[in-house]
Amino acid sequence: MNILDDVQKIKDIDKSNMKSMLDGFDRQSLSAWNIKLPDMDKKEFDSICLCGMGGSAVGGDIIKQVAEGTSTIIYVNRDYTLPRFVNEKSLVIPVSYSGDTEETISCYNDAKSKKASIWSISSGGMLEELSRKDGVPHVKVEKGFPPRCALGYLFFPVLKLFIELGIIKKFEIDKTFLSIKKYIEEYRVENEKGNKAKEFADRLWNKNPVVYSGPFLFPVAIRWKTQFAENSKNVAFINVFSELNHNEIMSWNFPEFLVHNTIFFFLHDESDHPRIKQRMALTEKILKDKNLEVINVSSCGEHPVERIFSLLVLEDWLSFYLAILNNMDPTEIKEITYLKKELAKT
């Protein structure tokens, strides 16, 4: 029996039961969407700055892409300080699942000093305390998840806010939740036949994943990289078309041991520019002429949010299965925990 079909073996490795969180992601997303949002006095802003790190930031990357074309400046900030354009006409959205991310707390305080409007999200912690003390609208989400498994809680309230602000048009959100549920059924452990997540993990084991996409799906590529890192404990690289055609395409020659132990994932979306599509096809030919493996993966769905989540759910399960093949508990993050403890001393 393939280890990825062995429920008991997976349970033995998956000591913190990430499987149950992946199985329930559709319910988490719907629950997050149904959270009643706090009222905001102001409804129009010249700029919006979403602040977060790691799993708490990826929702900002996605929302920025979905809102592409709006007249409002939308910026995702991964730093201790805010960009200089933030002022009293700006909305700052600090997002920290734990509520204690030091970069995000620093940005909260920076936003206060700049007299910007603030609207925050956390499961508690210092961010909730500061928001309550300062009278800042705060969305409190359910505790008990690793931040990277709480994307539903960290994304869908912001999406709902952006719809209320008129930055994103209303759409049939129920289709997205149904699609998420469908993909979970396709990729979950109990599905042994036609499971792409298991197939890709098998092909990828002991190899180096490289993820390429066009600009629209680049936040998805970032998420693939971070999930490979945290869940699978596996090195991964990413880049974006057409930038990579002007430099990185020349690198796939040396060192030979690395090059020939690499698998490329090309992420495709219907919104890709025609020239990007042509570049992807030509790049695939160049790589295959070097006897390198390329796997093409296309997003599915009508709305951009639905298409993005079709690939996010796939990667959650792919990185989970690769962790099992690597004999690593997908939830464990001892190096990150050590780093945070050492930083907390000062």
Residues noted as catalytic: 230, 246, 340
Dihedral sign of CA atoms 20, 24, 29, 31 in order = negative
> Residue 293 burial by CB count (10 A; 0-12/13-18/19+): exposed, middle or buried?
middle
- Nearest by Cα to 26 from 261, 198, 186, 206: 186
209: left (phi over 0), alpha (psi -120 to 50) or beta: beta
Q: Which residues contact 108 (CB under 8 A, 6 or more apart)?
A: 51, 92, 94, 118, 120, 127, 130
| Greatest CA separation for the chain | 62
Q: What are phi and psi of 343, to 5 degrees?
A: -65, -35
> Under 8 Å CB-to-CB from 313, ≥6 apart: which residues?
25, 180, 183, 184, 187
CA distance 162 to 168: 6
Token pair, residue 153, equals 């809680």
